[in-house]
């Protein structure tokens, strides 16, 4: 291994016992400040099979209050997990603000396995490393403290431990096929671990390589490092200082210059609608069969006709294979996590279609304008969003984003119409009128959003919706084309 | 089949079209009142493979607003689901109050499959039917409207449809092995379906058997029945009028008569603690291997020593195989579902241990006393809780329930001690003092709870905790015995 071992205290038994007690006491005393400072802490324990990851965690939590921490143990992805982006199981499991979370191995072990087994070729492995780096940086930028340990044992020591487990019928089930395989292919695994640790090394959450030959010796060391990191983060919130991914962006003219005159006749609409719906139905079968996920993002002005537009697409699809996800303001639980968490939690299975009625772009629109997040947060969000969509596309998803567009006069007309029609009145609220007053602020935000997130791979499509029928047909045609393209690739 | 077919309108095409449009319009108009009345509606569409369940649902939702409904399609249980009680996937997916949910087959199809494949023997099949009845009754009593349809087609028609799907390469994936098998064993399946439908027939949500030979004819019929049921439920909330399960109860003397003098010496405590923790560790391995789930429920007076008691058990266990679940007051999301929903959502995988720090008994304790639910609700809860625990035990779980007991004087002493010790002060809140004033009300509730839910299969264990050390050892010994018993069975 390329890394420097952490120093470990001498083997004096009494001293070690005392050091351990002190270290665990310190950790216990940090629980309350962690909660009060709303600091989320991820303790990632990676390392060799049989290195004692689980038992180390059991000892670390000995004096902790169960209300303040979680232990999550990741094994091979379940079926549910393997039908989502690889990062899904980790992102959906990040702790809430003010909680400690111990991970019994995580993205490092999985990536090592995927690489050694050949499920990732060289190129995909590089992409995976990038994905890990993005993930850890996003967590850090959101104030998450990630403390990372790698428990190291030699091949010989690993063999000894595996044999000891196999000797007892109550523990032999703990030894998996993979554990034995790993011992036989220790050198190969070591080389991949080295690559991953080197590539993901960083100043804001350094790797701590721990000699785990003697678990009792490792405990006070790990505990001490962890407590120091927590104290550090409490004094100064972690910041990665890293800029994040760079994306190739398409030019976006100001939204006010969009020509809203395109329209379509009633007859033409009926004919085209029928043809589009038939085609979408066929394509839905195909993507289901090929397990291609489709993510459709709807944003637009109030009363622009999002609902009717969504319904025309939804009506073309088999109800068993799609979901419409209306996005309201975040719940208290959602507010206690990184803001993309709630969207990760809503991702569909592969082969399924998810239609988001409003989206993760709320961060750079309503949250920006209403001051629900800081300037730093919404400014950083453009990159985070581009990275999120990148992750979806790397998974194999078709991502289509619509801005349903009308002008201010048209909105006024439709608002008044809703107000004056009894069975439509529930569709219009005081909040709609208040938002309308902020039209010009929203216009600035929309232009910024289109300019900064219209990536070459996931561009925004402006849907002119003064004529709602025209808008529906245009959206359907774009979707059809995007799916057809994915089926060919 | 034994059931009366629903009448279907004549085959006049124009008339049918008009009826369909009217029916769907009526359903659409019911969305807002459903939301306003907070009525949860489950539309269960069961029936033969290829009977058109999915396409019927697609048509029913045509004019509905996606924010008001969900479609859930159940196939074979996933790995995550198969490691939980059979009912888990259904209970965790009930809709929130004020929403419509369409199920593309559910517990009836699964039960038919399990029976025909032999996964359920005759006796287990009867238990399953009881479980379905309990589930549907609990939903009804909580105000859920469950509208149940069975789409019927003949063996010949089924064969014709399967062949048509197989003829097209884009639809052939829709035909599963099971579908073909079902067609070959139509008679056997029919007999089991008959048994299930008969056993679960009820006056408060009757089965609607629909001739699905012509889907276009079925649509207005189904839609009409559904709308009628919704209107009915809006006028008068559904009530099952059924008493629920009868349980053999153990005698429970009043809690005030418990002798709190038992204690243990420091030395004896240390010796026994070590022995118990060693034994629990061994047993944890065994249950993990045999995939036996363990559910531990902790209730007790404030400051009785629940936390320390839990920690001694938790410290004996491998961190990867247990979880401590602190139960706080329900979130807004949880309040929009039947009250047991949040506990179903927290059930562990088989082979894992879940320690609940406060439990589903909140309904008959704090919710009763603080008036957070109606008298009818908490009075009905005793039976619902017994049924819930029955479900856990039928799954194979070890269920252990502790009441951690002290007297009022001891509580006062501990409260004052917390108040006067700076590093313990955060453990005591104004609410604790307010609860203390209601000691006698709680005492009534505790006695009621012990009397009504100390079932022969899942009794309450009173843990005398004036001496906390004594309490810890007693709880551990009870747990050890319960697990040992399960391992022998």
Which chain B positions have a beta carbon within 8 Å of A332's beta carbon? 331-332
Which chain A residue shows the shortest CA-CA distance from B64? A311
Residue B423 has a pLDDT of 77
pLDDT band for position A1 (cuts 50, 70, 90)? very low
Q: What pLDDT does residue B39 have? A: 96
Please provide the DSSP assignment of B320-382 as one string.
Answer: GGEEEEE--SPPHHHHTS-TTHHHHTTPPPTT-EEEEES-GGGGGTHHHHHTSS-HHHHHHHH
Q: Report pLDDT for B189.
A: 96
B71 vs A contacts (CB less than 8 Å): 319-320, 323
What's the rounded Cα separation, in Å, for the pair B82 and B78? 6
User: Are A320 and B288 within 8 A, CB to CB?
Assistant: no
Contact B209, B3 (CB under 8 A): yes
* Closest chain A residue by Cα to residue B315: A62
Query: What is the distance between the alpha carbons of residues B412 and B94, in angstroms, rounded to a whole number?
Result: 43
Give the predicted TM-score (pTM) of the model.
0.86
A30: nearest CA in chain B?
A: B423
Q: Is the pLDDT of residue B380 over 50?
A: yes
Say if residue A226's pLDDT is above 90: yes
The shortest CB-CB distance from B319 to any of A54, A65, A426 is to A54
**Going by DSSP bridges, is the β-strand pair B69-73/A322-326 parallel, antiparallel, or unpaired?**
unpaired
pLDDT digits (tens, 9 = 90+) for A134-193: 999 999 999 999 999 999 999 999 999 999 999 988 788 888 888 999 999 999 999 999
From CA A343, how far away is CA A360, in angstroms rounded? 7
SS3 state at A471: helix
Q: Closest Cα of chain A to B321: distance in Å?
A: 8
Strand order from edge to edge, sheet including B145-152? B69-73, B100-104, B41-47, B145-152, B207-211
Q: Do A286 and B170 touch (CB under 8 A)?
A: yes
* Record: contact A71-B319, CB cut-off 8 A: yes
Name the one residue in this structure whose structure tokens are 């291997």: B289
Q: Within 10 Å of residue B290's Cβ, how many Cβ atoms?
A: 13
In angstroms, the separation between the Cα of residue B458 and the nearest Cα of chain A is 25
C-beta atoms of B320 and A62 within 8 A: no
| Res B10 pLDDT > 80 | no
Distance from CA of A352 to the nearest CA of B (A): 12
Q: Are B312 and B378 in contact (CB under 8 A)?
A: no
pLDDT of B79: 87
- DSSP H or E stretch at residue A454: none
Residues A128, A395: Cα–Cα separation, whole Å: 11
The residue of chain B nearest to residue A56, with distances taken between CA atoms, is: B319
- Yes or no, beta carbons of A57 and B323 under 8 Å apart: no
The chain A residue lying nearest B320, using CA atoms, is A73
Angle between helix axes A186-200 and A107-116 (nearest 10 degrees) is 130
Phi, psi of A345, rounded to the nearest 5 degrees: -65, -15
- Per-residue DSSP letters for B391-435? HHHHHT-EEEEEEEE--HHHHHHHHHHHHHSGGGGGG--HHHHHH
Quick one: pLDDT band at residue A12, thresholds 50, 70, 90?
A: confident
Residue listed under structure tokens 């678990």: A215
The residues that bridge with B324 in the sheet, in sequence order, are B355
For B43, phi and psi rounded to 5 degrees? -105, 105
Instruction: Determine, for residues B285 and A170 on separate chains, whether the beta-carbon distance falls below 8 Å.
Output: yes
Tell me which chain B residues have a C-beta less than 8 angstroms from the C-beta of A426. Answer: 32
Contact residues on chain B for A321, CB-CB shorter than 8 A: 73
pLDDT of A9 reads 52
DSSP 3-state percent helix, strand, coil across chain A (nearest 5): 55, 15, 30
Q: What is the pLDDT of residues A358-403, one digit of tens each?
A: 999 999 999 999 999 999 999 999 999 999 999 999 999 999 999 9
- pLDDT score, position B421: 86
Report which of B116, B114, B126 is spatially closest to residue B82, judged by C-alpha positions: B114
Res B6 pLDDT > 70: no
Distance CA B139, CA B160 (A): 38
Q: Are A48 and A183 in contact (CB under 8 A)?
A: no
Which of the four pLDDT bands, split at 50, 70 and 90, describes residue B160? very high
Q: In this complex, do B102 and A319 lie within 8 Å of one another by their Cβ atoms? A: yes
Asked if the Cβ–Cβ distance from A67 to B355 is below 8 Å, we say: no
Which residue's structure tokens are 């879940």?
B354
Looking at the predicted structure, is the pLDDT value of residue A422 above 90?
no
Return the biggest CA–CA distance within chain A.
89
Q: What is the mean pLDDT of chain A?
A: 93
Q: Between B104, B173, B320, which is nearest A54 by CB? A: B320
- A170, B324: Cβ pair inside 8 Å? no
- What local confidence, expressed as pLDDT, does residue B1 receive? 47
Asked if the Cβ–Cβ distance from B288 to A57 is below 8 Å, we say no
Give the residue from chain B lying closest to A70, CA to CA: B323
What digits encode the pLDDT tens for the residues B328-357?
999 888 999 999 999 999 999 999 999 999
3-state helix, strand, coil in chain B (%, to 5): 55, 15, 30
Tokens of B61: 């939702």
Question: What are the distances in angstroms from CA A454 to CA A6, A448, A457?
Answer: 46, 10, 8
| ipTM > 0.85 (yes/no) | no
Return the number of CB contacts < 8 Å for A and B: 111
Number of residues assigned to chain B: 489
Mutant choice from B43, B52, B66 vs A, greatest count of A C-beta within 10 A: B66
Q: Which of B54, B79, B289 lies closest to A318 in CB terms?
A: B54
Predicted local distance difference test score (pLDDT) of residue A76: 87
Sorted by sequence, the CB contacts under 8 Å of residue B444 that are 6+ apart come out as none
CB distance B323–A173 less than 8 Å?
no
pLDDT score at A2: 45
Tell me the per-residue pLDDT of B89-133, one tens digit each, with 9 for 90 and over.
999 999 999 999 999 999 999 999 999 999 999 999 999 999 999
DSSP state of A6: P
């Amino acid at each position: 291994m390329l890394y420097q071992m952490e120093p470990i205290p001498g083997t004096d038994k009494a001293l070690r016992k005392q050091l351990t007690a002190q270290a665990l006491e310190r950790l216990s005393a940090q629980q309350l400040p962690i909660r009060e400072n709303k600091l989320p802490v991820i303790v990632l324990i990676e390392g060799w099979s049989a290195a004692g990851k689980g038992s180390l965690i059991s000892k670390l939590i000995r004096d902790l209050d169960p209300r303040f921490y979680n232990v999550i143990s990741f094994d091979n992805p379940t079926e549910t997990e393997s039908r989502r982006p690889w990062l899904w199981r980790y992102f959906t499991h990040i702790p809430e603000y003010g909680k400690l979370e111990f991970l019994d191995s995580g993205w490092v072990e999985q990536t090592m396995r995927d690489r050694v087994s050949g499920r990732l070729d060289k190129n995909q492995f590089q992409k995976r490393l990038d994905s890990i780096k993005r993930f850890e940086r996003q967590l850090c930028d959101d104030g998450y403290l990630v403390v990372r340990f790698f428990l190291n044992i030699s091949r010989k020591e690993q063999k000894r431990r595996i044999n000891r487990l196999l000797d007892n019928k109550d523990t032999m089930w703990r030894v998996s096929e993979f554990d034995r395989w790993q011992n036989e292919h220790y050198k190969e695994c070591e080389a991949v671990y080295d690559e991953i640790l080197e590539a993901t090394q960083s100043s804001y959450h350094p790797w701590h390589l721990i000699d785990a030959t003697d678990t009792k010796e490792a405990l006070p060391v790990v505990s001490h490092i962890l407590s120091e990191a927590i104290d550090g983060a409490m004094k100064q919130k972690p910041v990665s200082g890293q800029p994040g991914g760079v994306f190739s962006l398409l030019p976006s003219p100001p939204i006010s210059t969009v020509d809203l005159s395109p329209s379509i006749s009633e007859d033409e609409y009926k004919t085209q609608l029928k043809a589009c719906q038939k085609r979408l139905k066929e394509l839905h079968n195909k993507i289901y069969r090929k397990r291609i996920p489709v993510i459709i993002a709807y944003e637009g002005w109030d009363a622009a006709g999002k609902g009717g537009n969504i319904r025309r697409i939804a009506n073309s699809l088999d109800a068993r294979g799609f979901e419409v996800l209306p996005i309201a303001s975040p719940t208290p639980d959602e507010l206690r996590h990184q803001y993309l968490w709630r969207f990760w939690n809503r991702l569909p299975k592969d082969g399924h279609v998810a239609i988001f009625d409003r989206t993760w772009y709320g961060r750079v629109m309503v949250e920006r304008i209403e001051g629900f997040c800081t300037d730093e947060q919404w400014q950083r969000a453009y990159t985070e969003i581009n990275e999120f969509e990148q992750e979806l596309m790397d998974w194999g998803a078709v991502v289509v984003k619509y801005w349903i567009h009308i002008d201010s006069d048209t909105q006024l007309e439709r608002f008044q119409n809703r107000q004056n029609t009894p069975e439509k009145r529930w569709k219009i609220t005081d909040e709609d009128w208040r938002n309308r007053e902020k039209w010009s602020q929203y216009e600035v935000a929309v232009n910024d959003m289109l300019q900064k997130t219209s990536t070459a791979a996931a561009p925004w499509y402006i849907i002119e919706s003064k004529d709602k029928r025209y808008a529906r047909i245009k959206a359907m045609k774009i979707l059809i084309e995007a799916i057809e393209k994915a089926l060919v690739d």
